[in-house]
Amino acid sequence: MDNMLMSFTNKGKRIWQVKMPSSVTCIEQMDIPSRGMSLVAVALATNQVLIYDDKNIVDCFKMDDTVSAMKFGRFGREDNTLVLVSVGGTLNMKILKRTAHFEDLEMASTPLMNQNIKLNVPKKTKLFVDQTLRERENSVLMHRVFQHDLYQLRLNTARAYVNALQTSANPVSSDPEEPIKLTAQVMGLGPMFRLIIGLTNTSSNTPSRNLYVTFYCDDKLYRVSKPYVLVPMLVPQLNYSFESLVECVSDMGVADQIRVFVSRKERTQPILTALINMPVAEMV
């Protein structure tokens, strides 16, 4: 082994690699949902355990013996506990403090050697001087143009928001009678994809009934196995998932959008609309 710690994407592309100081005996992923962090614990043959956030070391500690196995998760009342088993059979437990703070140890331990070094500021060019004079002479006009563009941006944003509410082009319903949230996930490399639709009734005590999900796409590019999905009664505060297979029937190597509509049987206008950007099929 070359003692390298590597990170890859879901498609197998390497993102980064780090050279380990010694041989790796075991590795464990540390997911901390309360902080939105996903760390990696790496045990070395030198009895050290390194904690990585991405490719940065955020914590390290040394054991009395070489670690042969690790497991991170809930232990008793503690949600974040790292259990370590050494080669000699010793069982150790490390509990993560709720006030623990993770930072890059390499950056924290590096002194600011260059803080007193004078910066090499380039000389002012003629273009810079001319630009400064132009801004000084036309400052009022430039400020008015900036304010006009800012108001135009706010107006376009408000119009787009109103249009999204009127056409229901929003994954979260604004109708108080139908408080539904929609999520979509595409799985697969192609040409066959699995489309997972999630529906959640965000109301406190009112269930949703008589709903159905429909799909709209270009039939020259995609074929949906279930274009119509009947939705059962949605109990408040529960997540419901619905799956449908989508096949890419085109060999041109292009991708398009698929529209997902959540509608009620008594209404002609959809309650929710979501646009799903399909990936390019990599295995045609």
- 221-248 confidence digits (pLDDT tens): 888 888 888 888 888 888 888 988 988 8
Mean pLDDT of the chain: 82
Please give the share of the chain, as a percent, with pLDDT higher than 70. 89
Residue 181's nearest CA partner among 234, 259, 246, 244 is 234
Residue 199 predicted with pLDDT over 80: yes
pLDDT band at 173 (very low <50, low <70, confident <90, very high): low
Provide the 10 A C-beta neighbour count for residue 57. Answer: 18
Residue 198's nearest CA partner among 239, 259, 258 is 239
Residue 11's nearest CA partner among 186, 189, 187 is 189
pLDDT of 284? 46
pLDDT of 114? 46
Paired strand residues for 6? 17
pLDDT of 152? 92
Provide the 10 A C-beta neighbour count for residue 40. Answer: 17
Residue 103 predicted with pLDDT over 80: no
Residue 265 predicted with pLDDT over 50: yes
pLDDT of 1? 63
Beta carbons within 8 Å of 217's beta carbon, 6+ residues apart: 224, 246, 256, 257, 258, 259
Residue 249's nearest CA partner among 215, 216, 281 is 281
| DSSP-derived secondary structure for 1-49 | ---EEEEE-TTS-EEEEEE-SS-EEEEEEEEETTTTEEEEEEEETTSEE
Please give the share of the chain, as a percent, with pLDDT higher than 90. 5
pLDDT of 155? 92
Query: And the tokens for 20?
Result: 């380990």
Instruction: Find the mean pLDDT for residues 59-73.
Output: 88
Q: Residue 166's Cα: distance from chain center in Å?
A: 29
Distance CA 190, CA 209 (A): 34
pLDDT of 111? 45
Query: And the tokens for 162?
Result: 């109103």
Lowest mean pLDDT, pick from 7-11, 28-32, 117-121, 188-192: 117-121
User: What does the DSSP 8-state code read for residue 80?
Assistant: E
Residue 176 predicted with pLDDT over 50: yes
